Amino acid sequence: MRVKIVSIFPEYFGPLELSLIGKAREQGILEVSVHDLRDWTHDVHRTVDDTPYGGGPGMVMRPEPWGEALDGLAGSGARLIVPSPSGRPFSHAIATELAASEDLVFACGRYEGIDQRVIDEYDGFEVSLGDYVLFGGEVAVLVMLEAITRLLPGVLGNAESLVDESHAHGLLETPVYTKPAQWRGREVPEILRSGDHGRIARWRRDQALLRTAARRPDLLHAIGEGKLDKRDLALLGEGGFPVPDDGVAE
Ligand code: JD8
């Protein structure tokens, strides 16, 4: 996968040298290039912003530098991703979709954002990390790239672990424990030390169901028809989570 990032703060992307993303680049699974938008300005002040049409606070990123940059970087077949607080919510599904792309270009906005004509010109896909406001798109790109890269074949040691991940199967992760069995008077649940893998699997599903029902009932609803068996529904009922008769927890 080829990834190009355009930003006025290219130094934000040092972390992409590290850890599994750094390793994926060494292994040639991922090619990342970071570009300074100011390289496509022609004035002594390397100006990338101007006042907003229609008035209002702050400044807007000028279209010309972006046009010149993306003409060079977002060739045919490249997909332009634009982090924006007004974008579609980023998700595992979007990460999976983008992980199937050959060529991704990320446009990092700053100030009040990028002139909308740039996004329209390159059919940019506006994506948001969540309902809070950041200073710019850079950290959003770091988050998205980590979620996308770990889905690329060969990046994760045991790809199996991708299968039983939360958001992959729709339930939140279960609590995890390691040695010592006692810590500050706190015990690791006995069942996890029982060696009874059948009971352990059931316990973990129960924990995932109860945690999801408590913290993310929206996810439980999204799981949809028939994915929750009678025992799941009984557990949720006992846990005080109303279970409608169509088998989909409220
Ligand atoms: C891109 C400029 C800052 C946003 C005026 C503060 C994503 N989940 C998210 N929250 N915020 C962003 C985000 C914020 C950005 C830019 C993404 C470019 N800003 C602006 C509008 C209000 N300032 C984001 N993904």
Task: Give pLDDT tens digits for 185-206.
Answer: 999 999 999 999 999 999 999 9
Q: Please, what is the Cα angle at 127 between 78 and 142, to 5 degrees?
A: 80
Distances (CA, A) of 127 to 5, 85, 98, 204, 213: 15, 8, 12, 33, 27
Query: Ligand 1: which atom is nearest the Cα of residue 140?
Result: 25
Kindly report the protein residue whose alpha carbon is nearest to atom 21 of ligand 1: 112
pLDDT at 117 over 90: yes
User: What mean pLDDT, rounded, does the chain reach?
Assistant: 92
In this prediction the pTM is 0.92
13 and 34 Cβ atoms separated by less than 8 Å: yes
**Average pLDDT of the segment spanning 229-246:** 82
What are the two backbone dihedrals, phi and then psi, of residue 7, each rounded to the nearest 5 degrees?
-155, 160
Q: Ligand 1 within 6 A of 124 CB? A: no
Band of residue 57 on the pLDDT scale cut at 50, 70, 90: very high
Q: Is 110 in the pocket of ligand 1 (CB under 6 A)?
A: yes
> Rounded CA gap, 147 and 167, in Å?
11
Say which DSSP state 51 is in. Answer: P
pLDDT above 70 (res 228): yes
CA Rg, the chain, in Å?
Answer: 23
In this prediction, residue 170 carries a pLDDT of 81
Q: Which atom of ligand 1 is nearest to the CA of 109?
A: 18
More confident residue, 42 or 237: 42
pLDDT score of 245: 61
